[in-house]
């Protein structure tokens, strides 16, 4: 089966060799089920349709970036959803679209609206249930049937994993429902959280046996299934260790089962590591370039499962319409937007180390004590900082980013947006952007060779769902929890060595958490990690800081001002209450199905 590209998935129904006597003669919905399920191209197209609907793989929402295609309206979540989850964390505030940041400042109510994945999920699950029931009876080759059914089971399990980490227990439906089914099946109760995690783990154990043990990043492989198992079992272990049982088990997992789940995560991670198909990317001796290239070099061995986009960077020439680069990149770009994720100074200070393993002193007293050069400020930091974050002085498209917000001349601060003094602008190009400012943006995934000056620009970059570095981190965490501290230390130091940071000589759980925070920054992992460790009530209620650069004209150095409470303003609280560890089922859904019990403290 050829690679499946996201926007072209459904096109397989009409293109690419579908049999002339079937698909070319009649609409698919008028063909008998017998013919459809016995035609290989129709079977492949059915599965392709499920892949194409899985926006949760990158956007964490029901919206898909193909919304900008003809006939379908623009949606913010569809175009920039991959950036929005970062605004819920301690990583970054919003620079353009505050859609999800408002939940950080106002909390979550019974009406929901945040990270929704329910209706779309069950539509996809129904399609996959039908596929799993029908394909074994198909006349296509036996090996292909087994592999395709295993792929469908992977997608179904990913849907259920996406739901259980949001809502806790949800109805577990594994067969195609019929209108004639009993009412208790048509309006099912919620299964327990433990039952959902056990289902995902069991399914991936079995599916991994039938999936190809090769690097096929755009489709489920053996290692994608084991990656999902590794991640899900680690989450379940955390829920058991740090959570509590509520609603008679609809929420929570017994604490005495934590080690059993950590063992499952450990074993799945071990298989991926030992079989050697995937490994850490090391394509460049330059540590900064090497880390950036993980997210830019397609098909590299670190990526285990990705959402693939085609190779068109312009919508008008058939591009996907994925706006990540366009929205995230530094100015200038078309529409004068960009800087969607504005990274907090406080996140940088608590995350990135110096290359010698020491912590940088980025305290307010130190930063405001003198004038600085860029090298004095950031020059000692580890390469992952320079590969993940852009700021004043970062090289970009043949120049450097200029983020000074004012120009100091003879003791006066000049800040006319159109002004200049002896050829030096009062405000640098980045500094001219309206809205929130922290003086840092997200560089990870951005390709400066792309033409983001065109309003027609759309990224062709892959989005990585699972990569080998996460598997190493899962392995380290589960090993540590099982008392294998030496093994955990060895694995963490593999990542630090690749990143050009001094290795650790000892390991603690806090250090494992920090390594995960650094390595996976801005990849959509942080929010879920804070929730499963049950530390979001502490981390996400602290206020965050930013930085303001002033260029001193005489010395060409920088005067710094630390900006307080940039995560919503001085009069806005950061809110994350204990019941927010589970999203609401919502009033609408519990009214539609009265057998659904609402999660605690949503009224």
Report the pLDDT value the prediction gives residue 72, as an integer from 0 to 100.
45
For the record, the structure tokens of 546 come out as 């930013």
The fraction of the chain above a pLDDT of 90, given in percent, is 76
Q: What is the pLDDT of residues 147-199, one digit of tens each?
A: 999 999 999 999 999 999 999 999 999 999 999 999 999 999 999 999 999 99
Cα separation, 169 vs 198, whole angstroms: 11
Contact 347, 91 (CB under 8 A): yes
Burial group, residue 531, by CB count within 10 angstroms (0-12, 13-18, 19+): buried
Split at pLDDT 50, 70, 90, the class of 272 is: very high
Is cis: bond before 332, omega within 30 of 0?
A: yes
Q: What is the pLDDT of residues 73-126, one digit of tens each?
A: 567 787 778 889 999 999 999 988 888 888 998 899 999 999 999 999 999 999
Q: What is the pLDDT of residues 225-269, one digit of tens each?
A: 999 999 999 999 999 999 999 999 999 999 999 999 999 999 999
Contact 135, 43 (CB under 8 A): yes
Contact 545, 363 (CB under 8 A): no
Domain boundaries, the chain: 342-445+543-563, 470-530
Report the pLDDT value the prediction gives residue 6, as an integer from 0 to 100.
34
For 327, how many CA atoms within 13 A lie in the half-sphere containing its CB? 21
Distance of CA 490 to the CA centre of its chain: 26
Q: Is the pLDDT reported for residue 379 higher than 70?
A: yes
For the residues of 46-101, what is the DSSP string, one character each? HHHHHHHH-GGGTTSSS--GGGGSTTS---HHHHHHHHHGGGGTTSEEESS--TTH
* Helix H or strand E segment including 466: strand 463-467
Q: Is the pLDDT reported for residue 69 higher than 70?
A: no
Q: What is the pLDDT of residues 557-584, one digit of tens each?
A: 999 999 999 998 888 889 999 999 999 9
Contact 298, 53 (CB under 8 A): no
Contact 568, 105 (CB under 8 A): yes
Split at pLDDT 50, 70, 90, the class of 437 is: confident
Distances (CA, A) of 31 to 24, 178, 343, 471: 11, 20, 53, 44
Report the pLDDT value the prediction gives residue 458, as an integer from 0 to 100.
76
For 8, how many CA atoms within 13 A lie in the half-sphere containing its CB? 15
Mean pLDDT of the chain: 90
Report the pLDDT value the prediction gives residue 98, as an integer from 0 to 100.
85
List, in order, residues 6 or more apart from 95 with CB less than 8 Å away.
Answer: 338, 339, 340, 341, 342, 433, 435, 436, 441
Q: Is the pLDDT reported for residue 17 higher than 80?
A: no
Rounded to whole angstroms, the maximal C-alpha distance in the chain is 83
Q: Is the pLDDT reported for residue 15 higher than 70?
A: no
β-sheet bridge partners, residue 307: 463
Split at pLDDT 50, 70, 90, the class of 7 is: very low
Split at pLDDT 50, 70, 90, the class of 433 is: confident
Cα separation, 480 vs 489, whole angstroms: 9
Cα separation, 37 vs 22, whole angstroms: 12
Report the pLDDT value the prediction gives residue 457, as an integer from 0 to 100.
76
Please report where in the chains the tokens 């970009």 appear, as a residue.
Answer: 396
List, in order, residues 6 or more apart from 233 with CB less than 8 Å away.
Answer: 197, 201, 261, 262, 264, 265, 268, 478
Report the pLDDT value the prediction gives residue 435, as an integer from 0 to 100.
63
For the record, the structure tokens of 566 come out as 């940039």
Q: What is the pLDDT of residues 485-516, one digit of tens each?
A: 999 999 999 999 999 999 999 999 999 999 99
The mean-pLDDT minimum among 220-234, 379-393, 429-443 falls in 429-443
Residue 421: CB atoms within 10 A of its CB come to 15
Q: List, in sequence order, every beta strand (DSSP E) within 368-410.
A: 389-391, 395-396, 399-400, 404-409
β-pairing verdict for 546-552 and 404-409? parallel
Which residue pairs from 525-528 have beta carbons closer than 8 angstroms and sit at least 24 positions apart in sequence?
525/470, 526/86, 526/89, 526/90, 526/91, 527/85, 527/86, 527/88, 527/89, 528/165, 528/235
Report the pLDDT value the prediction gives residue 334, as an integer from 0 to 100.
57
Cα separation, 366 vs 85, whole angstroms: 32
Contact 100, 85 (CB under 8 A): yes
Cα separation, 333 vs 331, whole angstroms: 5
Report the pLDDT value the prediction gives residue 440, as an integer from 0 to 100.
96
Distance of CA 145 to the CA centre of its chain: 31
Q: Is the pLDDT reported for residue 3 higher than 60?
A: no
Query: What secondary structure, in 3-state letters, does 419-434 show?
Result: CEECCEECCCCHHHCC
Cα separation, 400 vs 388, whole angstroms: 16
Q: Is the pLDDT reported for residue 327 higher than 90?
A: no
Q: Is the pLDDT reported for residue 30 higher than 60?
A: no
Please report where in the chains the tokens 């379908």 appear, as a residue.
Answer: 72
Phi, psi of 550 (to 5 degrees): -115, 130
Q: What are the b/e assignments for 141-168, b being 16+ CB within 10 Å? A: eeeebbbbbbbbbbbbbbbbbbbbbbbb
Q: Is the pLDDT reported for residue 205 higher than 80?
A: yes
């Amino acid at each position: 089966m050829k690679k499946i590209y996201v926007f072209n998935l459904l096109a397989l129904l009409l293109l690419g060799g579908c049999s002339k006597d079937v698909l070319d003669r009649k609409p698919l919905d008028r063909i008998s089920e017998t013919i459809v399920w016995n035609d290989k191209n129709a079977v492949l197209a059915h599965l392709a349709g499920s892949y194409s609907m899985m926006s949760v793989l990158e956007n964490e929402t029901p919206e898909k970036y193909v919304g900008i295609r003809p006939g379908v309206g623009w949606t913010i979540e569809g175009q920039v959803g991959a950036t929005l989850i970062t605004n819920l964390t301690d990583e970054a505030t919003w620079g353009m679209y505050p859609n999800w940041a408002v939940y950080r400042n106002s909390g979550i109510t019974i009406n929901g609206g945040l990270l929704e994945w329910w209706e779309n999920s069950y539509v996809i699950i129904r399609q996959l249930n039908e596929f799993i029931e029908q394909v074994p009876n198909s006349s296509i080759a036996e090996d292909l049937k087994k592999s395709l059914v295993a792929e469908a089971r992977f997608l179904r399990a990913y849907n259920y994993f996406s739901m259980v980490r949001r809502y806790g227990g949800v109805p577990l439906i594994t067969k195609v429902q019929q209108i004639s089914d009993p009412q208790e099946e048509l309006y099912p109760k919620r299964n327990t959280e433990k039952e959902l995690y056990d289902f995902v783990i069991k399914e991936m154990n079995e599916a991994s046996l039938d999936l190809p043990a090769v690097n096929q990043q755009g489709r489920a492989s053996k290692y994608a299934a084991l990656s999902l198992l590794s991640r899900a079992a680690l989450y379940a272990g955390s829920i058991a260790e740090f959570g509590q049982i509520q609603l008679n088990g609809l929420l929570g997992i017994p604490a005495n089962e934590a080690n059993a789940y950590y063992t499952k995560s450990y074993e799945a991670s071990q298989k991926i590591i030992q079989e050697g198909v995937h490994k850490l990317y090391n394509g460049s001796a330059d540590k900064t370039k090497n880390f950036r290239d993980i997210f830019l070099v397609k098909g590299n061995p670190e990526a285990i499962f990705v959402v693939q986009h085609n190779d068109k960077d312009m919508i008008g020439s058939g591009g996907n319409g994925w706006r990540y680069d366009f929205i995230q990149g530094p100015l200038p770009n078309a529409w004068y937007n960009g800087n969607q994720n504005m990274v907090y100074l406080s996140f940088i200070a608590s995350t990135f180390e110096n290359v010698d393993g020491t912590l940088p002193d980025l305290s307010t007293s130190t930063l405001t004590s003198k004038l600085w050069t860029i090298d004095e400020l950031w020059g000692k930091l580890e390469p992952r900082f320079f590969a993940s974050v852009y700021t004043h002085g970062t090289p970009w498209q043949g120049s450097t980013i200029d983020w000074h917000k004012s120009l100091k001349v003879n003791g006066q601060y000049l800040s006319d947006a159109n002004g200049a003094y002896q050829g030096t602008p009062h405000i640098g190009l980045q500094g001219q952007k309206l809205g929130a400012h922290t003086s840092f943006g997200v560089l990870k995934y951005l390709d400066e060779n792309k033409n983001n000056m065109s309003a027609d620009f759309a990224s062709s970059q892959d989005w990585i769902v699972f990569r080998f570095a996460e598997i190493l981190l899962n392995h380290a965490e589960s090993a540590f929890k099982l008392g294998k501290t030496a093994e955990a230390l060895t694995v963490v130091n593999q990542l630090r060595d690749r990143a050009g940071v001094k290795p650790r000589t000892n390991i603690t759980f806090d250090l494992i958490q920090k390594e995960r925070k650094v390595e996976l920054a801005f990849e959509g992992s942080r929010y879920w990690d804070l929730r499963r460790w049950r530390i979001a009530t502490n981390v996400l209620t602290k206020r965050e800081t930013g930085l303001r650069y002033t260029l001193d004209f005489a010395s060409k150095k920088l005067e710094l001002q630390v900006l307080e409470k940039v995560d919503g303003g001085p009069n806005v609280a950061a809110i994350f209450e204990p019941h927010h560890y589970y999203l609401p089922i919502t009033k609408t859904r519990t009214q539609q199905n009265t057998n659904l019990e609402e999660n605690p403290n949503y009224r």
